[in-house]
Amino acid sequence: MPNPYPLALRERAVTAYETRGDSYAAVAEEFAIAQRTLERWVSRARETGSPAPQEKGGGWSSPVLLEVMHAVVAEKPDATVRELTRLYNARVPRAHRVSRSSLLRALRRTGYVFKKNARGPRKPIGPMSGPSGRPSSPGSPR
């Protein structure tokens, strides 16, 4: 959701509508806002005394219990996120279990740095297959 219009603009538009007696459309055009927006501001000013925007609401709260997460990270600080998720879910009741992505977001939000994956076998260095062409003899013209 975008941020609300500034309170100063709202107050000027509502005052202009109520003092001049112009139509909603004329005042809305002057302030470069939608007519319905001005109607809502005027209605809110009449009901509450101010055209101030309502508080932002909604959103989701994190299902991760931070105390448990901190304890799991302190116990195994070099574990991957997948391992931390398993340890976390083993400590909490079934209703509070979370997915790997939920724990990852909680870790990022609280400032933890984490490993992306566990150390696996090292990849060999060097050619994987032999040359595909036959070798040329020294000094042969191309």
Q: How far apart (Å, rounded) are the C-alpha atoms in residues 15 and 26?
A: 13
Domain count, the chain: 2
Spatial neighbors of 3 by CB under 8 A, at least 6 apart, are: none
Question: What secondary structure letter does DSSP report for 115?
Answer: B
Is the residue at 104 inside a domain? yes
Is the residue at 83 inside a domain? yes
Are residues 44 and 71 located together in one domain of the fold?
no
Beta strands in the chain (DSSP E): none
Q: Under a CB-based contact definition with an 8 Å cutoff, are residues 61 and 30 in contact?
A: no
Give the pLDDT confidence of 101-137 residue by residue, as tens digits. 999 999 988 888 755 555 555 555 545 556 666 666 6
Give the pLDDT confidence of 7-52 residue by residue, as tens digits. 999 999 999 999 998 999 999 999 999 999 999 999 999 999 999 9
Q: 94 lies in which domain range?
A: 66-109
Q: How far apart (Å, rounded) are the C-alpha atoms in residues 63 and 95?
A: 10
Q: How far apart (Å, rounded) are the C-alpha atoms in residues 106 and 109?
A: 5
Q: How far apart (Å, rounded) are the C-alpha atoms in residues 19 and 22?
A: 8
HSE value, Cβ hemisphere, 13 Å, CA-based, for 126: 2
Are residues 41 and 12 located together in one domain of the fold?
yes
Is the residue at 89 inside a domain? yes
Instruction: Look up residue 41 and give its amino acid.
Output: W
Q: What is the pTM of this model?
A: 0.46
Question: 115 - beta bridge partners?
Answer: 80
Is the residue at 128 inside a domain? no
pLDDT value, residue 45: 96
Residues in the chain: 142
